Amino acid sequence: MNRKEVIGIPRYLSYFSFGALWERYFEQLGFEIRLSPPSNQDILDEGVRETVNDACIPIKIFHGHVMSLRDKADYLFVPRLGGTRTRYTVCPKFLGLPDMVKYSLSGLPQVLAPRLDVRQRGMGAWKELVSLGVRLTGRRFAAYRAFARARQILSERVGKIQAEGLPALGFPQPPDPDLTLGVVGYPYVIYDHLANGGLLDQLLRLQVEVRTPELVSDQQMKKQSDEFPKDLFWFYSNRTLWSGLHFMDVARLEGLVHVTAFGCGPDAMVGKLLEMESRQRGMPFLSLMVDEHTGEAGVATRVEAFVDMLRRRLRGGSAS
């Protein structure tokens, strides 16, 4: 029996948005999928050693994920993500990611780097991914069929998250919360335990319910886009801003937390906009900036103080 070829997929960056599609697509084509482990200190340390100094922490963590797969796969899947939806792009680092990886790290297996610009409509957005499947297998119909099934699975996953909330993403909610906070930011910071300094675990321990951008529907996002004077240039930045505005204006939560990575230019603008809008609405706001030196103790101290202030505020205390 022939051994299945192994495709390694780093469990970071665009994986949080499209990982279900990547995995199912290549599995349906007959490949074995190997994911890097969840982010940990070894992965971070390896990424810091191998990445240029001025890279943001998400890029450093990603390099560590790639290194963890270096000797465990026949191929590495590092797509060149150009944009998402119709008018917006992503951080330029996503476009250059395959080059950063190939020229920074040695001894890698073949890097599969299709350009995926899903600002295009219909099949055109994914044509390079399907073409990659054809090149790898020589089976055109199988590649199209595998992609159709993978996209359906991704759609079902999004629907499940919308219906079930954070538990569908593997994050439990407290049974009887007295506070509900919006936590906004980029998915690869919000949902990565290492990158966010254990924020979601801290809020669970404090009996706080959490809502994130992935729980806000496209229709709700569009409503905020229509009402805000101008859209931003970046897809993830827009989602962060629109979901934050939704949590302020529609959901009317008790507070808002913005998690941002040090050195992220687009997110600095988003953070300032959210701070200004929350002040205008009287919404308590906490900005958490993380980098490779961020520890859980520091995050816990700030979050505990913020939650304590909110509870005193609800009880009519003097905190503001």
pLDDT in tens, the chain (320 residues): 577 899 999 999 989 988 999 999 999 999 999 999 999 999 999 998 888 777 888 899 999 999 999 999 999 999 988 765 557 777 878 888 999 999 889 999 999 999 887 655 555 567 888 999 999 999 999 999 999 999 899 889 989 998 899 999 999 999 999 999 999 999 999 999 999 989 999 999 999 999 999 999 989 999 999 989 888 888 889 999 999 999 999 988 999 999 988 877 777 788 899 999 999 999 999 999 887 777 788 888 999 999 999 999 888 754 44
Distances from the Cα of 43 to the Cα of 40, 47, 131, 259, 283, angstroms: 5, 6, 32, 21, 37
Residues of the chain with CATH 3.40.50.11900: 166-314
Residue 123 is given by DSSP the state: G
Residue 85: per-residue pLDDT: 52
Residue 134: per-residue pLDDT: 94
Q: Rounded CA gap, 276 and 283, in Å?
A: 10
Residue 51: per-residue pLDDT: 83
Residue 119: per-residue pLDDT: 55
Q: Which CATH architecture has domain 166-314?
A: 3-Layer(aba) Sandwich (3.40)
Residue 125: per-residue pLDDT: 63
Residue 298: per-residue pLDDT: 84
Across 210-248, b (16+ Cβ under 10 Å) vs e yields bbbbbbbeeebbebbbeeeeeebebbbbbbbbbbbbbbb
| Secondary structure of 248-293 as H, E, C letters | HHCCCCCEEEEEEECCCHHHHHHHHHHHHHHHHHCCCEEEEEECCC
Q: Is 27 exposed, middle or buried (0-12, 13-18, 19+ CB in 10 A)?
A: middle
